[in-house]
């Protein structure tokens, strides 16, 4: 009887263990099913630390720290302009801990973007996706050198798209997110649940009582700007060569206040007092309407303007030139010109 009782007891334990294994949550793999884990592993190797070094007296010291994202296997890295600004030298640290000196390929203060380059092998480029397709509420992940803690991963959602912000005289169109972005995150990636880049983290509103408001430069802007910086060392922006201002009745369009001598508008015969009613068939009522069209037009291409001169309506073709290099305040005062 004692042996029989032991056998029954052991059988009961085995059946109980089997039932527990069937009905209890499985410890292996369950917590790893959340997409952020895979995203962090996929994107992590593409994220770097950018050190801004400056000469202080007789020695060079690290004065600033930010993040960057590997663009290609040739060593091009995108970061924020303010991360590399005023640097005497730059150092990039990969996710492996390796350090490399970096040089500036080009900077673009109007978008707060810069491209730097290192001589390194086995780099892992990030994958881009169109930021125009994002929607408020979708999951996003930020990775960066937060407060000096390398490869910090934070999670949030897209809070809003195409937020217009103004800083240092420039107009920025940004993605708003509640993913934690702290000093050192600047220049790091904001990615979707597939690990695809939708933005470059740029700034955060840091005030008492305010949480969860961070901003990133949209990937569509990043892709265009870095392409220009790599090919030309600067962003070649189209220039109309006219100072415009809205009229009292927006339906009338924009009035030309002045034209630059030998600029595109002057060469096409446009005059102060002319009203621009459309560009390439699209009605324009604000300076932003003009900018949207010009942003999609390459330097050297023509645009067709609908013009009202007095009571006469006409169409005038204008061949765009490259925007002259100017101080930030002057350029931003009339972005559509």
Q: pLDDT (tens digit, 0 to 9) for every residue of the chain, 337 residues total?
A: 555 555 545 455 555 555 455 454 555 555 557 899 999 999 999 999 999 999 887 788 888 999 999 999 999 999 999 999 999 999 999 999 999 999 999 999 989 999 999 999 999 999 999 999 999 999 999 999 998 899 999 999 999 998 988 776 667 889 999 999 888 999 999 999 999 999 999 876 555 556 678 999 999 999 999 999 999 999 998 999 999 998 877 677 899 999 999 999 999 999 999 999 999 999 998 888 888 788 778 899 999 999 999 989 999 999 999 988 754 433 333 334 5
* pLDDT tens digits, 43-62: 999 999 999 999 887 788 88
The label of the residue with tokens 């910090």 reads 152
Report the domain count for the chain.
Answer: 3
pLDDT at 95: 94
The answer to whether residues 151 and 226 belong to one domain is yes
CA 212 to each of CA 17, 208, 247, 266, 333: distance values in angstroms, whole numbers, following the listed order: 46, 12, 39, 48, 31
Catalytic residue among 76, 108, 112, 274: 112
Catalytic residue among 82, 131, 220, 278: 82
Rounded-to-integer distance, Cα 270 and Cα 2, Å: 109
The answer to whether residues 256 and 318 belong to one domain is yes
The answer to whether residues 227 and 154 belong to one domain is yes
The answer to whether residues 228 and 144 belong to one domain is yes
Q: Is residue 18 part of a domain?
A: no
Among the candidates 92, 117, 142, a domain finishes at 117
The answer to whether residues 137 and 154 belong to one domain is yes
Q: Is residue 246 part of a domain?
A: yes
The answer to whether residues 176 and 251 belong to one domain is no
Q: Which backbone phi and psi does 4 adopt, to 5 degrees?
A: -60, -40
pLDDT at 293: 85
Return the CATH number at 258: 2.30.42.10
Q: Is residue 2 part of a domain?
A: no
Q: Which residues does residue 157 pair with via DSSP β-bridges, in sequence order?
A: 139
The rounded Cα 208 to chain-centroid distance in angstroms is 26
pLDDT at 286: 86
Q: Is residue 160 part of a domain?
A: yes
The answer to whether residues 146 and 108 belong to one domain is no
Query: DSSP E strands: which ranges in 168-301?
Result: 170-177, 189-191, 196-204, 214-218, 238-239, 242-246, 254-259, 275-279, 282-283
Question: What single-letter DSSP state applies at residue 111?
Answer: G
Residue 284: which H helix or E strand, with range? none
Catalytic residue among 186, 203, 219, 278: 186
The answer to whether residues 108 and 181 belong to one domain is no
The answer to whether residues 168 and 202 belong to one domain is yes
- Catalytic residue status for 112: yes
Q: Is residue 12 part of a domain?
A: no
Q: Is residue 92 part of a domain?
A: yes
pLDDT at 237: 87
Q: Which domain holds residue 76?
A: 40-117
% of the chain surpassing 90 pLDDT: 64
| Residues contacting residue 272 through CB under 8 Å, at least 6 positions apart | 256, 257, 258, 259
pLDDT at 334: 39
pLDDT at 10: 46
For 309, counting Cβ atoms within 10 Å of its Cβ (0-12 exposed, 13-18 middle, 19+ buried), the class is middle
Does the predicted TM-score (pTM) go above 0.85? no
The answer to whether residues 191 and 227 belong to one domain is yes
Rounded-to-integer distance, Cα 52 and Cα 140, Å: 28
pLDDT at 251: 73
Dihedral sign (CA 108, 113, 118, 121): negative
Q: Is residue 134 part of a domain?
A: yes
The answer to whether residues 159 and 195 belong to one domain is yes
Cα radius of gyration rounded to whole Å, the chain: 27
The answer to whether residues 140 and 192 belong to one domain is yes
Among the candidates 199, 232, 265, a domain finishes at 232
- Catalytic residue status for 82: yes
Q: Which backbone phi and psi does 21 adopt, to 5 degrees?
A: -70, -30
Q: Which backbone phi and psi does 122 adopt, to 5 degrees?
A: 60, 35
Return the CATH number at 206: 2.40.10.10
Question: What single-letter DSSP state applies at residue 25?
Answer: P
DSSP H helical ranges for the chain: 2-23, 35-43, 81-84, 219-232, 264-268, 287-295, 328-333
Q: Is residue 22 part of a domain?
A: no
Among the candidates 57, 91, 117, a domain finishes at 117
* pLDDT tens digits, 242-260: 999 988 776 778 999 999 9
Strand 47-56 versus strand 89-93 pairing type? antiparallel
């Amino acid at each position: 009887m004692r042996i029989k009782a032991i056998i029954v007891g052991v059988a009961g334990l085995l059946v109980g263990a089997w039932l527990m294994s069937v009905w209890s949550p499985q410890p292996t793999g369950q917590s790893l099913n959340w997409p952020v884990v895979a995203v962090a592993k996929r994107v992590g190797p593409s994220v770097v630390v950018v050190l801004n070094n400056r000469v202080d007296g007789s020695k060079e010291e690290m004065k600033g720290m930010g993040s960057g994202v590997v663009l290609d296997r040739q060593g091009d890295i995108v970061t924020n302009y303010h991360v590399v600004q005023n640097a005497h030298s730059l150092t990039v640290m990969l996710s492996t801990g390796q350090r490399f000196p970096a040089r500036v390929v080009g900077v673009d203060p109007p978008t707060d973007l810069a491209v730097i380059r290192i001589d390194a092998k086995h780099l892992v480029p990030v994958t881009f996706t169109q930021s125009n397709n994002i929607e408020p509420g979708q999951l996003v992940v930020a990775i960066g050198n937060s407060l000096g803690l390398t490869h910090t991963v934070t999670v949030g959602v897209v809070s809003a798209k195409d937020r217009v912000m103004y800083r240092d005289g420039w107009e920025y169109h940004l993605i708003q997110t509640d993913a934690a972005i702290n000093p050192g995150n600047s220049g790091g990636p904001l990615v979707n649940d597939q690990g695809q880049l939708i933005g470059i983290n740029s700034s955060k509103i840091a005030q008492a009582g305010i949480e969860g408001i961070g901003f990133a430069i949209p990937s569509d802007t990043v892709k265009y700007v870095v392409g220009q910086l790599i090919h030309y060392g600067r962003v070649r922006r189209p220039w109309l060569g006219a100072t415009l201002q809205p009229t009292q009745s927006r339906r009338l369009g924009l009035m030309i206040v002045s034209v630059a001598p030998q600029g595109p508008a002057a060469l096409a015969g446009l005059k102060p007092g002319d009203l621009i009613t459309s560009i390439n068939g699209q009605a324009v009522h604000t300076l932003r309407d003009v900018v949207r069209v010009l942003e999609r037009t390459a330097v050297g291409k023509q645009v067709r303007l609908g013009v009202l001169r007095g009571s006469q309506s006409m169409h005038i073709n204008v061949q765009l030139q490259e925007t002259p290099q100017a101080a930030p305040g002057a350029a931003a005062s009339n972005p559509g010109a």
